[in-house]
Amino acid sequence: MTVDFAAKKALFHLPDGVIYLDGNSLGPMVKTAPARIAQAMAEWQDLLIRGWNKAGWMAQPAALGDRVAKLIGAAPGTVVLGDTLSIKVYQALASALEMNPKRRVILSDTGNFPSDLYMAEGLCRTLCGQYRLKTVAPEEVMSAIDDTVAVTLITEVDYRTGRRHDMTDITKRAHEMGVLTVWDLAHSAGALPVDLAGAGADFAVGCTYKYLNSGPGGPAFIYVAPRHAETARPALSGWLGHAEPFAFDLSYRPGQGIERMRVGTPAVLQMAALDAALDAWDGVDLAEVHRQSLRLQDQFIKGVETRAPTLQLATPRSHLMRGSQVSFRHPEGYAIMQALIAEGVIGDFRAPDILRFGFTPLYIDEDDVARAVGILAKIMDYGSWDKPEFKQRARVT
């Protein structure tokens, strides 16, 4: 089945005059989200605490997990929603380390998102310094996987450059070396085809407010391979991951399978937004979404390299090594991005010099790309980025 991208675009609310190339950071709102949240609000209003049972709020993290599972090549019952991605990184990593007790090294790469590295550092400290986080250049991950490594903590698509790791190859190498894998799908889920089961991944985590459009602060997800589901022991052992939360036992017993990875009370309103957003993915073939994204990316790269040649491409040219974003370097990247945003082309900036543009075909088309290139070329030709107001750094870049 082919995706009708124009029909998909109509499902999203995009403000007039905005070309939104930042869905890789915060996805836009589906038009049905406000009504779905209003419905959850009405449940709260009328059912009060009865909503946990009557409106199915307590079952929502697993029900949504099954919907997300379809998008990442995971079987039903292997994914659960909740908390934020940083928390889920910790949860997966701690479990994986415990399952490989003779080894002391966590392997990650310098292209990983800092929060993943910070969580790993914090975990090493909690484990009394017995563990060590080793980070290598993204190109060196494969060769750094040896028999000292307990767990790899790798984000499939680099948040800065858009460079994509080969999940299948790395997982295979890891397993040959007796290493467990934690995959971060923050820039993969909803952007490209992911086959967790096929790749044999051990653990995976990701967020839903980027490509899955659940809104700011939307819940994260965690996947545990079925073969580990009954042995993985969560370090963040909250009551909702307990086998019987409402038995109120004094000590923790892990819940069944993926349920044990839950921590605390789910964010019901935010889950309602995610549920609405996931409707847009019904019947969508992610291979086709990714192919269309690559077409849009190629159009953008060609346009920028022709018309704004002082920008340097930071993203690999090979389609096999790309996610759903394109990044360019420029020493004045921050000011250039602010000038673009002032003209309605919204991307973002990542220190020290990266301008980042996401190409999400469900709501971005060729016409948007052509217009974005034109506006960027104009800003570079006239140097209109060179103004004090564009150099004032905001809290969020």
Report CA torsion sign: 157, 163, 167, 173: negative
Applying CB under 6 A, which part among 10-18, 74-82, 108-116, 262-270 lies near ligand PLP?
108-116
User: What does DSSP assign to residue 305?
Assistant: H
Our answer to whether residue 221 is catalytic in this structure is: no
Check: CB of residue 101 under 8 Å from CB of residue 126: no
Q: Is 195 a catalytic residue?
A: no
* Residue 363 annotated as catalytic: no
Query: Least distance (Å) from ligand PLP to the CB of residue 115?
Result: 4
Among 31, 44, 77, 86, binds ligand PLP (CB under 6 A): 86
Give me the torsion for CA of 353, 23, 315, 300, rounded to 10°.
-100
Active-site residue identified among 116, 184, 202, 348: 184
Residue ranges in 159-218 that form contacts with ligand PLP under rule CB under 6 A: 159, 184, 186-187, 207
For the CB of residue 243, give the shortest distance to ligand PLP in the complex, in Å. Answer: 27
Dist CA 203 CA 182 (whole Å): 5
β-strand pairing of 354-358 with 348-350: antiparallel
To ligand PLP, the closest distance from the beta carbon of 191 in angstroms equals: 11
Among 22, 109, 116, 275, interactor with ligand PLP by CB under 6 A: 116
Please say whether the beta carbons of 215 and 197 come within 8 A: no
First-to-last CA distance in the chain? 38
Q: What are phi and psi of 43, to 5 degrees?
A: -60, -45
The answer to whether residue 184 is catalytic is yes
Active site residue 391: no
Among residues 12, 57, 113, 328, which is the contact residue for ligand PLP, using CB under 6 A?
113
Catalytic residue among 90, 209, 300, 390: 209
- All residues at 6 or more sequence positions from 306 whose CB lies less than 8 Å from its CB, including other chains: none
Selected binder of ligand PLP within 26, 29, 55, 85 (CB under 6 A): 85
d(CA 302, CA 243): 55
Residues labelled catalytic: 113, 184, 209-210, 356
Provide the binding-site residues for ligand PLP, judged by CB under 6 A.
84-86, 113, 115-116, 155, 159, 184, 186-187, 207, 220
